[in-house]
Amino acid sequence: MANVAVIGAQWGDEGKGKIVDWLSARADVVVRFQGGHNAGHTLVIDGTTYKLSLLPSGIVRKGKLSVLGNGVVIDPWALTEEIEKIKQLGVGVTPENLVIAENASLILSVHRELDHMRETSNSGTKLGTTRRGIGPAYEDKVGRRAIRVADLKNPAGLKAKIERLLSHHNALRRGMGVDEVDGAQLESELTAIAPKILPFAGPVWRRLEEAKKAGQRVLFEGAQGAMLDIDHGTYPYVTSSNTVAGQAAAGSGCGPHDIGFVLGIVKAYTTRVGEGPFPTELHDEVGERIGKIGAEFGTVTGRKRRCGWFDAVLVRQTVATGGIDGIALTKLDVLDGFDEIKVCVGYKVGDKTYDYLPVDSNDQAQITPVYETHEGWRGTTHGARSWADLPATAIKYIRRIEELIGAPVALLSTSPRREDTILVRDPFVR
């Protein structure tokens, strides 16, 4: 058996929630390894809808261990609120089924405020963040001034660490003409929330090592998508962490060889939330139609997603940078009934042609997509559970995508229901 890492292979919102839920039913441990509560997964199980932001998808299944790894930035107030919400849906969350890395960094009120101030400022670049403090928290982590989960265990030493943190933040706030943060107030907030978080804290790396020795199957659950990766994405319109599969090891405390099969989640078209380049974006009735049929609104923010045709250039690149072994192709049914379907197979920037996404943001903004046009299908793919249920032209479209991106389809999703999934290759089997 192999462990599986699931990552988004576009700009996020690819339908990871359903696929991770489908896989988590067969896993023993489910690990979040990066991001924060800016992520969003919607799960529908036995008619009940669960909307998760920070908690791993395995939390809704009995007998599974859910883990928040050290690569995650944790807002303790958002986490406790999310725990209470799913408790109301009958899901118990205890230290027996949830472990939080004691070396994970915390998102504080000062991070949320800074994020909001930057995004609403009249100067500077608008990055389209969720304003939840994720970016500033990662900045403090790299700057070695973050407050971590383990710091909550020692109230006596917390004051000095808060002073070190605020020596940076209050200087920023003075420069922005904003009142400084009261260190005593922040200390009081952390002291109050600590008892709700500390029972879950522990050495995640050790729990994963124990799972490895016991032969348990581990599912590593990524957030956002590979094109939002801080290094490999459309910088600066990216998230503040690495979203590619290599982060699954570093962000959870295990070795790279412990990551077995890498499954990339890919929509049959393309969407993006927030600012930044989007070569295949459609500003016409076709884009509106895709968005309406696909219910393209963010799980966390409710923001309308930008929609466009499938970009094979972009996904071929994320297959390489993400180490993707196979893809789960989702939302194929959204394309039912289109007379023709386009696929981007190249980029033009002025008189230059590219078969990859140029790294310069100026070049990215000037891209003209080169399209192939494919015949659509009149039959329906909605709810299909075998290849025999698919129209021939839909199969032809799938095969062309495989050829263009250089990766096979391992799973095919044909509706939001977890049962409407065609298994081509079991990711857990080597």
Q: Are strands 409-413 and 421-423 parallel, antiparallel or unpaired?
A: antiparallel
- Of residues 21, 28, 37, 41, which has the active-site annotation? 41
Tokens of 164: 């070190």
Q: Which position among 13, 140, 258, 420 bears the catalytic label?
A: 13
pLDDT of residue 128: 57
Question: Taking the model in full, what pTM does it have?
Answer: 0.92
Backbone CA torsion sign across 231, 356, 274, 120: positive
Local structure of 330: helix, strand or coil: strand
Strand-pair category, 340-349 with 368-375? antiparallel
**Count, residues in the chain:** 430
Helix (H), strand (E) counts: the chain: 12, 20
223 φ, ψ (degrees, to nearest 5)? -120, 165
Residue 13 annotated among the catalytic residues of the structure: yes
Q: What one-letter code names the amino acid at 424? A: V
DSSP string, 89-149: TT----TTTEEEETTPEEP-HHHHHHHHHHHH-SSS------SSSHHHHHHHHHTT---BG
Contacts for 180 with CB less than 8 Å, ≥ 6 apart: 166, 170, 173, 174
pLDDT of residue 126: 58
Cα–Cα distance measured from residue 344 to residue 373, given in angstroms and rounded to the nearest whole number:
9
Which single residue is written with the structure tokens 């292979």? 9
pLDDT score, position 218: 97
Contact yes or no for 225/243 (Cβ under 8 A): yes
C-alpha distances out from residue 208 to 31, 65, 68, 262, 298, Å? 9, 10, 11, 18, 31
Angle in degrees, 0-180, between the axes of helices 392-405 and 312-321, rounded to the nearest 10: 50
Residue 162 has what DSSP assignment?
H
Residue 72, token pair as written in the block: 């995650």
* Other beta carbons less than 10 A from residue 419's beta carbon: 9
Half-sphere exposure of 82 (CA within 13 A, CB side): 25
From first to last of its 430 residues, what are the pLDDT tens digits of the chain? 689 999 999 999 998 888 988 899 899 999 999 999 977 777 777 778 888 889 998 899 989 999 999 999 999 999 999 999 999 999 999 999 999 999 999 999 999 999 888 887 655 555 556 678 999 999 999 999 999 999 999 988 999 999 999 999 999 999 999 999 999 999 999 999 999 999 999 999 999 999 999 999 999 999 999 999 999 999 999 999 999 999 999 999 999 999 999 999 999 999 999 899 999 999 999 999 999 999 898 666 677 899 999 999 999 999 999 999 999 999 999 999 999 999 999 999 999 999 999 999 999 999 999 999 999 999 999 999 999 999 999 999 999 999 999 999 999 999 988 889 999 999 998 7
pLDDT on residue 120: 78
H/E element holding 216?
A: none
Amino acid code (one letter) for 262: V
Is 41 labeled as catalytic in the residue annotation? yes
